[in-house]
Amino acid sequence: MLREFAKLRTACARPGFSRIAQAINSACRALRSADETMLRTDYFRLFLGNGPVSLHETAYGDGRRIAGRTHELADISGFYSAFGLCLSDADPNLPDHLSSELEFYSLLLVKQVYADGGGRSVNREITRRAAKLFLEYHIGRWVEAFVQTLRENETPTAYRELARVLEVLIRAEIKRSHVRPFLASGRLPHDVMQDDELVCPMAAQAATENRFPLARERQIS
């Protein structure tokens, strides 16, 4: 991880990226001094099961969540499906997991660069629109609440600094993309009635067709 952060720090060593570089430097220092065994123990305590800090978008919310968890999961799945993506069978998780959403958003950014290089203006516009929508209605909405919840709990410095990097990066993307997410107000109480809730595959398909009618016809490779 430190090697990857070193590459990111080098990429951010230019005007306009000082805040990101500072956050990365702090995270690197915290990771170097952290005890790996304690980090693993705290990870289980904080993030897994009914831990106090959820890694899932639908654990955070406000009035917009009135449609329910099923609607949110179907909408996220619709984004993935629009670009021919699905969750791994080898490592199953819900589509609203932080790592899944970040990986998807980063992939959209890569696809935009690829489309630019190949002169594929239509593909670039489809991907750019998808990235803005996903940032505004999903990953950009709940990261602030996630980071705040992390800070309110007894959290190792390394995790707090990593969360700071995430917060700074998402804020920078929101500013760059000119979107205004309706921020989630905080962690929702655990709802045991939704533990076994299923997501209808037809709902995900409908979300795909409504948001990106051209995406299936113009897959960006």
pLDDT one-digit tens code per residue, 114-164: 887 776 777 788 889 999 999 999 999 999 999 999 999 989 999 999 999
107/96 Cα distance (integer angstroms): 16
The per-residue pLDDT for 41 is 94
The percent of residues in the chain predicted with pLDDT above 90, rounded, is 45
Choice between 70 and 64, residue whose per-residue pLDDT is larger: 70
pLDDT one-digit tens code per residue, 181-221: 988 887 776 544 344 444 444 444 444 444 544 444 334 44
Q: What is this structure's pTM?
A: 0.80
The per-residue pLDDT for 35 is 92
When pLDDT is cut at 50, 70 and 90, the band that residue 19 belongs to is confident
The per-residue pLDDT for 219 is 45
When pLDDT is cut at 50, 70 and 90, the band that residue 1 belongs to is low
Return the exposure string of 2-40: e unless at least 16 CB atoms fall within 10 Å of the residue's CB, then b: eeebeebbeebeeeebeebbebbebbbebbeebeeeeee
pLDDT one-digit tens code per residue, 29-62: 999 899 999 999 999 999 998 899 999 999 998 6
The closest alpha carbon to 178, from 221, 133, 148, belongs to 133
The structure tokens 């009914």 sit at 50
The closest alpha carbon to 108, from 124, 89, 88, 91, belongs to 124
Contacts by residues 37-41 (CB-CB < 8 Å, ≥ 24 positions apart) = 38/156, 39/156, 39/158, 39/159
Bridge partner list, 56:
97
- The mean pLDDT value for 94-120 works out to 88
When pLDDT is cut at 50, 70 and 90, the band that residue 105 belongs to is very high
**Number of residues written out for the chain:** 221
Q: Does the structure show a pLDDT above 80 at 92?
A: no
